[in-house]
């Protein structure tokens, strides 16, 4: 049974934005979140958690990108989250320096 045409994205740029946001943006958000957690928590446990929880989070972010109406807004949201996690990484380096 084919998909209903009214629910499909017509613009190739929107389709490109959703695909790249899902794959690349979701991966970047997932890794920056886990790196930020590694600076605040025990880094060995966080890296072991990244193996499983990282894949699940990436898959959820991939699905969210395709559920959105505008792919560029999802890119903006993912970049905003990445910058927020980068701030936590920076603060983690200042307050919890690795010896």
pTM of the model: 0.85
Name the band, by pLDDT with cuts 50, 70 and 90, for residue 96: confident
Residue 98 in tokens: 């690795």
- Alpha-carbon distance of 67 to 18, in angstroms, equals 9
Res 77: pLDDT: 97
Q: Are 61 and 22 in contact (CB under 8 A)?
A: yes
Res 11: pLDDT: 86
Res 1: pLDDT: 67
* Higher pLDDT pick, 36 / 99: 36
The residue count of the chain comes to 99
Residue 89 in tokens: 């990484």
pLDDT in tens, 19-66: 999 999 999 999 999 999 999 988 888 888 888 899 999 999 999 999
């Amino acid at each position: 049974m084919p998909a209903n045409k009214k629910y499909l994205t017509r613009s190739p740029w929107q389709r490109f934005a959703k695909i790249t946001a899902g794959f690349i943006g979701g991966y970047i958000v997932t890794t920056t979140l886990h790196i930020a957690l590694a600076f605040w928590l025990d880094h060995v446990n966080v890296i072991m958690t990244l193996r499983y929880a990282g894949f699940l989070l990436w898959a959820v972010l991939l699905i969210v990108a395709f559920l959105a109406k505008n792919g560029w807004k999802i890119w903006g949201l993912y970049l905003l989250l990445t910058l927020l996690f980068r701030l936590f990484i920076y603060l983690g380096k200042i307050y919890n320096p690795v010896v």
